[in-house]
Structure 1
């Protein structure tokens, strides 16, 4: 057990909570992409059964395992045909952005619930085990969704941040991006899987997550 604990990013006893949060976060993220694309006129994801909250069609085994080990990961990308949109660039940006934003929304909801439970005393009659379980679940719900929000906005393929930049860029730049996209994926894999590189690239970005959680918490505390 100790060897497995050292291999995983999170304590072994937290795995049930982590897995529940990941299933929720990945499912909502990919559903948001698929649903928005379908509403904008692209039936590609709909025809593949991706406009659903069934997690089985969205989860990627490697991406889920990686988040348990490294603290970040991914689900199966939703295929989008921007040629079906009336305004391909604007709608493409929205479809790309709603995935990370759905994770931010889940984190915000988790923070609201955390404030409610902390300030109203609604759990005063519950056992210590129940209180601890709810506290841990909400903390991980908040933290992991903020991580996914930030991670998916990194402007490297195949992440949503890259697709947003791609749709914002002028045509001649988009053409150069398409020509060099395979190198972007290579850079992405390097900074994900090479610890010295991830420590100076991805990890500093994740440190912003604490500031974001603090800012949202201060905002919620105004009302609760």
Structure 2
């Protein structure tokens, strides 16, 4: 029970950090590319309340994968609508990957700097779990199905008629994917991708191990 409560606590921290950063990144990039829709609606904000979605929040707390209200983007405001949509969509997962990188650096620093300290050990576990959940959110959102960000990224390479044909079934696809997640069917492929990306970030932050190793 204590481990479950700890997991929920870490996920709650992610809910008020990673989710707003993800959504604000969509809004910021869309605004920079010429679409002020999200900014005008107050979505270019790190306030989690502005992005809150009840089902997505509950899902994140219970299984570690969730979502927020979609950021409104009007592709007609972009000079190149399909490219603009793809780049704006990619901004969210990219923000999660940057947060994963940052939390891994901080986790390693906490572990080395506070060696032997119980507080440092707890902080390390919290930060490492935040890293893992950010990785999961990035990979989850890169799935090539609507309404996930990946579908909008890959739409730049699909015939427009095919893309909008698939988008008609967006709600049904979301229900099907969530059912597969809750049933554990996607655990294998998603776990493989999560582990591969985690190992990649571990290698990328090897300089932290080296820095603290040389400092001892």
Q: How high is the TM-score relative to the length of structure 2?
A: 0.87
Structure 1: gaps spanning 5 or more residues = none
Seen in structure 2, the aligned counterparts of structure 1 residues 134 and 144 have a Cα distance that, compared at 3 Å, is same
Q: Displacement of 1:182 after TM fit?
A: 2.9
The residue number in structure 1 matching 2:193 is: 208
Q: Displacement of 1:92 after TM fit?
A: 1.8
Q: Displacement of 1:196 after TM fit?
A: 8.2
Mapped partners of 1:30, 1:13: distance in 2: 25
Is 2:44 the counterpart of 1:51?
Answer: yes
The residue number in structure 1 matching 2:149 is: 160
Is 2:202 the counterpart of 1:217?
Answer: yes
- DSSP 3-state at the match of 2:109: helix
Is 2:10 the counterpart of 1:17?
Answer: yes
* Contact 2:111/2:120, CA 8 A, preserved across alignment: no
Counterpart pick for 1:109 among 102, 105, 129? 102
* Contact 2:11/2:60, CA 8 A, preserved across alignment: no
Which moves more between the two structures, 204-213 or 29-38? 204-213
The residue number in structure 1 matching 2:175 is: 189
Let me know the Cα RMSD of the aligned residues. Answer: 2.1
Q: Displacement of 1:59 after TM fit?
A: 1.9
The residue number in structure 2 matching 1:34 is: 27
Q: Displacement of 1:37 after TM fit?
A: 0.8
Q: Displacement of 1:43 after TM fit?
A: 1.1
Q: How many residues align?
A: 209
User: Could you list the runs of 4 or more consecutive aligned residues of structure 1 that deviate by over 6 angstroms after TM superposition?
Assistant: none
* Contact 2:146/2:174, CA 8 A, preserved across alignment: yes
Mapped partners of 1:45, 1:195: distance in 2: 29
Q: How high is the TM-score relative to the length of structure 1?
A: 0.84
Seen in structure 2, the aligned counterparts of structure 1 residues 77 and 114 have a Cα distance that, compared at 3 Å, is same
Counterpart pick for 1:137 among 99, 118, 126? 126
Mapped partners of 2:170, 2:187: distance in 1: 15
Mapped partners of 1:85, 1:192: distance in 2: 32
Mapped partners of 2:176, 2:85: distance in 1: 27
Seen in structure 2, the aligned counterparts of structure 1 residues 51 and 184 have a Cα distance that, compared at 3 Å, is closer
Mapped partners of 2:182, 2:49: distance in 1: 34
- DSSP 3-state at the match of 1:29: helix
Seen in structure 2, the aligned counterparts of structure 1 residues 18 and 70 have a Cα distance that, compared at 3 Å, is closer
The residue number in structure 2 matching 1:123 is: 114
Q: Displacement of 1:139 after TM fit?
A: 1.4
Mapped partners of 2:11, 2:83: distance in 1: 35
* Contact 1:155/1:165, CA 8 A, preserved across alignment: yes
